[in-house]
Amino acid sequence: MKKPPEQAKMILFAYTIPNYEETAQWYEEALGLKFPDETFSVDRLDIAKGQLSEGDAMVELLEMEKWRGVEPGYASGHIGFLVKDIEAMREHVKSMGCEPSKIMYPFEGNDKVKICYFRGPNNEKLELVQMDE
């Protein structure tokens, strides 16, 4: 199993997915994040749900047939991860077959922020953010 150069810090994430186990394994290999093995049902919907919290951020992977009329794989916005070394993390996800964007720097005129985007295993848009002090 591949190991990332660092563990990314979750900023935000909520996403419906077609296969919980495969997706959780991908996030562990790509970003060093370990989702729990336990799943459960919520509000009479058949949902395999993994929830991971770190600080004020919460991440949920939701595997289900339908949720409020939304098909699996529906993505809204993007998923952001804070990293210390964006160049190393960009190269790591690239080595896993992803096609990350160029690093945007300075980002929107801020010379302390570097950002790049790439797609995850279910075509979700992911963002790596490095904020220098």
Of 3, 15, 119, the closest CA to residue 72 belongs to: 15
CATH assignment at residue 67: 3.10.180.10
**Opening angle at CA 49, ends 47 and 53, nearest 5:** 155
Residue 4 located in a structural domain: no
43's CB contacts (< 8 A; 6+ apart) are: none
Q: Given strand 113-119, what is the order of strands in its sheet? A: 47-54, 57-64, 9-17, 79-82, 125-131, 113-119
Q: pLDDT (tens digit, 9 = 90+) per residue, 91-132?
A: 999 999 999 999 989 877 789 999 998 999 888 888 899 999
Q: 77 φ, ψ to 5°?
A: 70, -135
Residue 78 located in a structural domain: yes
Residue 127 located in a structural domain: yes
User: Which domain covers residue 93, as residue numbers?
Assistant: 9-131
Residue 2 located in a structural domain: no
Number of domains in the chain: 1
Residue 84 located in a structural domain: yes
Residue 39 located in a structural domain: yes
What pTM was estimated for this model as a whole? 0.63
Q: pLDDT (tens digit, 9 = 90+) per residue, 28-51?
A: 899 888 877 766 554 444 555 666
Residue 1 located in a structural domain: no
